[in-house]
Amino acid sequence: GAVVSQHPSWVICKSGTSVKIECRSLDFQATTMFWYRQFPKQSLMLMATSNEGSKATYEQGVEKDKFLINHASLTLSTLTVTSAHPEDSSFYICSAVPDRNQPQHFGDGTRLSIL
């Protein structure tokens, strides 16, 4: 149980393009989903927390207009990197929980490369 699917797993696009990443909980309803960013050889850094039906809560230093998060259903959250630039290249990982007292289960991540 507790399977989280993330799509796409890998994307390469030109600078200035907007990229959407999907995160789905396959066998449970996720009231809360989290979005992380991970640079090579580093730990996961939380970008934002999204609750179904409400606005996401962004961590300090994360631009909400740059990283748009939508959590329109209990099984789907999306992260859109708007007008992406090379410095946005990174490994983006989502996680989901049925309630916030439960352990987070992670997707397989999306490798984003901006040329």
Partner 1 sequence: GQQLNQSPQSMFIQEGEDVSMNCTSSSIFNTWLWYKQEPGEGPVLLIALYKAGELTSNGRLTAQFGITRKDSFLNISASIPSDVGIYFCAGQGGYGGSQGNLIFGKGTKLSVKP
Q: Site residues (CB under 8 A) for partner 1?
A: 2, 4, 6, 32, 34, 42-46, 49, 59-60, 93, 95, 97, 100-101, 103-109, 111
CB of 59 to partner 1, least distance (A): 7
Nearest to 90 by CA among 112, 66, 64, 107: 112
Task: Report the C-alpha gap between 87 and 54 in whole angstroms.
Answer: 29
> What is the DSSP secondary-structure string of 14-48?
-TT--EEEEEEESSS--SEEEEEEE-TTS-EEEEE
Question: Nearer Cβ to partner 1, position 46 or 68?
Answer: 46
CB of 50 to partner 1, least distance (A): 11
Question: Nearer Cβ to partner 1, position 83 or 113?
Answer: 113
Question: Nearer Cβ to partner 1, position 15 or 42?
Answer: 42
From edge to edge, which strands make up the β-sheet containing 76-81? 4-7, 19-25, 76-81, 67-73
CB of 80 to partner 1, least distance (A): 19
CB of 43 to partner 1, least distance (A): 5
Question: Nearer Cβ to partner 1, position 9 or 15?
Answer: 9
Task: Report the C-alpha gap between 22 and 103 in whole angstroms.
Answer: 20
